[in-house]
């Protein structure tokens, strides 16, 4: 297993806001998850496909991938195609751009012992491209003012600034399962200014275990999110409301509850998950016990079930049209678009109440939109 940086670029969104969380998290064992393992498989496939495009002699890793499936094949194909499009475009102005895949990047000039791995770098006169592949579908990631991408860009400049005449940095998050390609461009001068005035001072605090704890959305992936006292205080502020029927609350009070509702629910779920793990390890909580949860019946052997039912003259299988991802893989994107393009639609999404900072445009008439959604469903 590779070494992990105390102040990693991937966790910079957290320690830049809550500096002392870095050392606190470093004391907790990183147990990993299926989501992380799935992401690692997808990255390995991305690396292979981009290197193959670059003409390298590489072998497909699919046989060694635990989570490989049709969706991963399609997503990584699209990613490799996206990289190739950028490279070909860059060649219009730079005859010999440098393309690096899974490149170790050192930004320790600003972050003590800071390093990370860039999924893809394209270095050319004028512009440095930093591209990060995100396979997760849970949280949409933006490249705008993204500290992980900015740290990676600083690491890339350490390698190439001065060799190439770079003035702009173009940072891209490629997140295919969310249909999200987020691009942010900033000047090299602005990036260096951020590094000197914001990144370096806070990184020193975090490395020394100093600064103030602060709770917020950045707690989502914190290793101590379930037991952090600051996060508890942040969420327990809601206790001042009696939680009577919403009609009896003032609009300002409802807005205050909405502002923390998602975080409160996530915090409560994190505490329950942590407490269950502790209880299974022998810890006792007054008034609580561990019981066997509900479960659904399942077949012991699906093949035997199918054979038995077929012998009785019945069809044991469901028959339905392939999903869009699987059908695209079957036909190929060009033929899919030609044959089925006019038979595919993207229906209206269900109305959702979100913070004003959300990037999506507001509905013109939320009440009418809600009625339309009911009619369609």
Sorted by where each starts, the structural domains of the chain and their CATH numbers stand as: 12-207 (3.90.320), 225-280 (no CATH)
The token pair at 225 is 């999110």
Give the per-residue pLDDT at 247: 64
Q: What's the CA gap between 134 and 140, in Å, rounded? A: 9
Identify the pLDDT of residue 1: 38
pTM of the model: 0.72
Scanning the structure block, which residue is given the tokens 């000047």?
187
The enclosing H or E element of 282 equals none
**Residue 130, pLDDT score:** 97
- Give the pLDDT of residue 95: 83
Strands, E, within the chain: which ranges? 98-106, 115-123, 126-133, 166-175, 180-187
**Do 144 and 173 meet the contact criterion of CB atoms below 8 Å apart?**
no
The token duo for 16 is 């830049």
Under 8 Å between Cβ of 130 and 171: yes
102 φ, ψ (degrees, to nearest 5) = 50, 55
56 CB-near residues (< 8 Å, 6+ apart) = none
Q: What is the pLDDT of residue 2?
A: 45
**Token pair listed for 61:** 């890793």
Q: What whole-number distance in Å separates Cα of residue 146 and Cα of residue 218? A: 12
The CA distance from 247 to 14, in Å, is 37
Q: Are 232 and 267 in contact (CB under 8 A)?
A: yes
Q: Cα–Cα distances in Å, from 76 out to 96, 224, 308, 335?
A: 25, 33, 40, 19
Q: How far apart (Å, rounded) are the C-alpha atoms in residues 221 and 53? A: 34
At 254 the pLDDT is: 81
pLDDT of residue 277: 87
Report pLDDT for 239: 65
Name residues of the chain where pLDDT drops below 70. 1-4, 238-247, 365-377
**How would you label 229-263 residue by residue, b for 16+ Cβ within 10 Å and e otherwise?**
ebbeebbeeeeeeeeeeeeebeeeeeebeeebeeb
Rounded to the nearest 10 degrees, how much is the dihedral formed by the CA atoms of 140, 145, 146, 147?
-160
């Amino acid at each position: 297993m590779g070494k992990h940086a105390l102040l990693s670029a991937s966790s910079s969104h957290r320690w830049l806001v809550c500096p002392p969380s870095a050392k606190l998290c470093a004391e907790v064992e990183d147990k990993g998850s299926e989501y992380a393992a799935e992401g690692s498989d997808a990255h390995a496939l991305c690396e292979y496909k981009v290197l193959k495009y670059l003409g390298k002699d590489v072998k497909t890793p699919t046989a060694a991938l635990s989570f490989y499936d049709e969706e991963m094949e399609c997503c990584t194909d699209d990613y490799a195609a996206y990289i190739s499009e950028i490279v070909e475009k860059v060649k219009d102005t730079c005859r010999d751009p440098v393309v690096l895949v899974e490149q170790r990047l050192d930004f320790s000039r600003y972050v003590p012992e800071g390093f990370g791995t860039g999924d893809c770098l394209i270095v050319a006169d004028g512009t440095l491209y930093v591209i990060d592949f995100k396979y997760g579908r849970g949280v949409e990631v933006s490249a705008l003012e993204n500290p992980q991408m900015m740290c990676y860009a600083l690491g890339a400049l350490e390698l190439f600034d001065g060799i190439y005449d770079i003035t702009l940095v173009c940072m891209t998050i490629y997140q295919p399962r969310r249909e999200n390609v987020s691009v942010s461009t900033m000047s090299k001068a602005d990036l260096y200014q951020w590094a000197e005035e914001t990144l370096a001072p806070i990184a020193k605090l975090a490395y020394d275990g100093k600064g103030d704890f602060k709770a917020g959305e950045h707690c989502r992936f914190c290793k101590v999110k379930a037991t952090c006292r600051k996060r508890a205080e942040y969420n327990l502020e809601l206790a001042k409301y009696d939680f009577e029927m919403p009609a009896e609350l003032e609009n300002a009070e409802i807005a205050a509850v909405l502002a923390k509702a998602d975080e409160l629910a996530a915090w409560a779920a994190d505490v329950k998950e942590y407490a269950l793990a502790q209880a299974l390890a022998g810890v006792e909580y007054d008034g609580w016990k561990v019981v066997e949860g509900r479960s659904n019946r399942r077949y012991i052997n699906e093949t035997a079930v199918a054979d038995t039912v077929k012998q009785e003259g019945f069809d044991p299988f469901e028959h339905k049209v392939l999903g869009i991802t699987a059908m695209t893989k079957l036909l190929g994107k060009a033929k899919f678009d030609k044959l089925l393009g006019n038979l595919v639609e993207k229906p209206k999404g269900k109305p959702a109440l979100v913070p004003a900072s959300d990037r999506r445009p507001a509905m013109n008439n939320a009440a009418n939109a809600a009625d339309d959604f009911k009619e369609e469903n």
